Chain A
Amino acid sequence: MAARVLQHCVRSLARPSLRLCPVSLALRAAVVPEVTVHLPFSFVADSRRTRWLEQSRISSVGLMCRQYGDLPPLTLETIKDRVLYVLKLYDKINPEKLQATSHFMKDLGLDSLDQVEIIMAMEDEFGFEIPDAEAEKLMTPEEIVHYIADKKDVYE
C-alpha cells in the first residue's frame, strides 16, 4: 500500500508544475522508513522541499490506517491477566491457590528471595525496571497490577 503511494509521489514530484500540499507529520513519519528502501537516496535529498506527499492522491488510496511501531495499549484487565499468567508459570506457586489478593508471604508461603524473583519476572514481562525500594513493597498480585498501571499511566 505504501509502495503505491510512493509511486504516485515519485511521478508527481517529477512533474514540477504540480503543487505539493503538506500532509500531517505522522503520516509522513510512517511512510519515511519505506522511502530508503524504494527510492534512491539522492533523489529524496535533492528535493529541498520537506513536503513531498500530495494529499489528494493519498486520500484516493483509501482509509489510511496509521501504523506506529508500538505495542497494543495496556488496560487494567490485560495487565492483571499477564501478571497472573506469569505467576502461574512460576514453579513455586500453586496455580489453584493463586488469586489476585493472595499475599506472597502469608498466603502462598514464599520468602523474600522468591519475591525478588517474581518482581524480576514482572520486569521481564512488562519491559521496564522496577527500583529496589518500590519492588520490596509489592506483596500481592493486586499491588503489582496497581503499580504497573500507575507507572504506565493506565486509567479506567
Chain B
Amino acid sequence: MGSRLPPAALSLKQFLQRQKVLGLYRGILRTIRQVPDEADRKYLRDWAREEFKRNKNATNQDAIRMMITQANNHLEELQKSLLLARS
C-alpha cells in the first residue's frame, strides 16, 4: 500500500517542528505586547519578523532545532527583562 500523501507533505517531525516555530512566533509577539513603549514594540516586532522570515526556508533539521532554541532563549530573556522592569 503506497503512501497517498502529496509529495510536498511534511513528515510528522517536520510538521511538529513547524507547529513549534509558529507557536514560538506567537509567544514572542504576545510577550512583545507587554513592552511599555510603542517605539520599542515596533522595533521588536520588526526584528522578530525579520529573524523568522530570514530563516523561513531552512531545511536542515538540526539547524532548525538550533534556531528554535535560540528563539526560546530570546523569548525567556525578553520575559525576564519585562519582569525586572515591572518590579
Contact, CB under 8 Å: A116 / B30: no
Interface residues in chain A, defined as those with a beta carbon under 8 Å from any beta carbon in chain B: 111-113, 116-117, 120, 124, 132, 135-136
Majority DSSP secondary structure for residues of A touching B: helix
How many B residues touch A, CB cutoff 8 Å?
13
- Most-contacted residue by chain B among A113, A120, A135 (CB, 10 A): A113
Instruction: A94 to B28: give the CA distance in the assembly, Å.
Output: 26
Q: Is the C-beta of B49 less than 8 angstroms from some C-beta in chain A?
A: yes
Query: Contact between B25 and A132 (Cβ–Cβ < 8 Å)?
Result: no
- Determine whether the beta carbon of A113 is less than 8 Å from that of B52: yes
Alpha-carbon distance A109/B19, docked complex (angstroms): 20
CA distance A132 to B30 in the complex (A): 12
Q: Is the CB of B23 within 8 A of A113?
A: no
Instruction: Check A120/B22 contact, CB under 8 A, given A111-B56, A113-B52.
Output: no
Q: Could you tell me the distance in whole angstroms from the C-beta of B56 to the nearest C-beta in chain A?
A: 7
- When A and B form their complex, which 5 residue pairs have the shortest distance between CB atoms, in order from nearest? A120-B29, A116-B25, A116-B26, A113-B52, A132-B23
The residue in A116, A132, A135 that gathers the most chain B C-beta atoms within 10 A of its C-beta is: A116
Contact of B49 among A112, A113, A135 (CB under 8 A): A113
Interface centre among B22, B23, B25, B26 (most CB of A within 10 A): B26
Task: Indicate if B53 sits at the interface (CB-CB under 8 A).
Answer: yes
- Known contacts A113-B22, A113-B53, A132-B23; 9 additional CB pairs below 8 A are A111-B56, A112-B18, A113-B25, A113-B49, A116-B22, A117-B49, A120-B30, A124-B33, A135-B26
A interface footprint on B38-62 (CB within 8 Å = 1, 0 otherwise): 0000000000010011001000000
CB-defined A-B contacts under 8 Å, sample of 12: A112-B18, A113-B22, A113-B49, A113-B52, A113-B53, A116-B22, A117-B29, A120-B26, A120-B30, A124-B33, A132-B22, A132-B26
